[in-house]
Chains A and B, each alone.
Chain A
Amino acid sequence: QVHLQESDPGLVKPSGTLSLTCAVSGASISSSNFWSWVRQPPGRGLEWIGDLYRGLTSNYNPSLKSRVAISVDKSQIQFSLKLTSVTAADTATYYCARGSSSGSGVIYFDLWGRGTLVTVSS
């Protein structure tokens, strides 16, 4: 059974870097999936941040592209998110998710982590 688990950084200071990891068990990051990050500000909707296909090719939300990087660690059992120059607007629950291709060019997220709340505050 595939399981995703986000790390828990908790509090990040404004202008700092938000760093999260997602531990993947029961599946290989090199499989034909899009290992993704999605966030949700408190009381608001979902926002796609970006993804990493087969652990090799990254794709980012253009609104965040200048500040975000998604990569896989050498162990190949977790992937990470780094978001730089954070502000209070980046306060959200961050989810890692597995994306799968529908064949029409639109990936769907069929497996999600439980999510971790990251607060940006001094």
Chain B
Amino acid sequence: DARVTQTPRHKVTEMGQEVTMRCQPILGHNTVFWYRQTMMQGLELLAYFRNRAPLDDSGMPKDRFSAEMPDATLATLKIQPSEPRDSAVYFCASGPTSGDTQYFGPGTRLTVL
């Protein structure tokens, strides 16, 4: 049963620290998405990739957030420096090349103190 995996599942850090979240998409999926979920804003798309190339990162605060895909099996989302307002659940999702369904990982719950 292929699944998207995310690490860590929970992260507590202090303001100003760097945070790195990792995602392993489903093997063979060529599109990868990063979402942020908060009570106030709901689910927001931060960035997405196709074939490891960033296609849209307009939802991401550019000054502190960065997203990369070092290889086809790993996507990373970094926050540097982190701020309390970044506290949220961050989801990674992957999908096949032609679009279609996005498959979500379990999320990383980030708390910035």
Q: Do A and B bind each other?
A: no
**Which A positions have Cβ atoms within 8 angstroms of B?**
none
